[in-house]
Amino acid sequence: MDDPAKPKPPTLWQVLHSVIAAAFGVQSSKNRARDFTHGKPGHFIAVGVLFTVVFVLILIGVVNLVLHLAHA
């Protein structure tokens, strides 16, 4: 049975929220403290790498779209 006094690790959505907030520099101290005390570094690294890859691919797509429209 789960011990109600034992804090749970952050959920996937909380990890994703923390990674996005950290990327933009707006992470709250409460969430940062939760992440450092109850989070697993591997989860944050994996989500951070995935977020970075998706972000770069979106930027490449936007640039390609703008360049395509500029030559039209």
Contact by Cβ (8 Å): 27, 56: no
Write out pLDDT tens, residues 39-49.
999 999 999 99
pTM of structure: 0.81
Contacts of 2 (CB under 8 A, 6+ apart): 8
Contacts of 44 (CB under 8 A, 6+ apart): 15, 18, 19, 35
pLDDT band at 19 (very low <50, low <70, confident <90, very high): very high
Cα distance between residue 34 and residue 54, in whole Å: 25
Instruction: Give percent helix, percent strand, percent coil of the chain, each to the nearest 5.
Output: 75, 0, 25
Task: Give the residue with greater pLDDT, 71 vs 59.
Answer: 59
Return the domain boundaries, the chain.
12-70
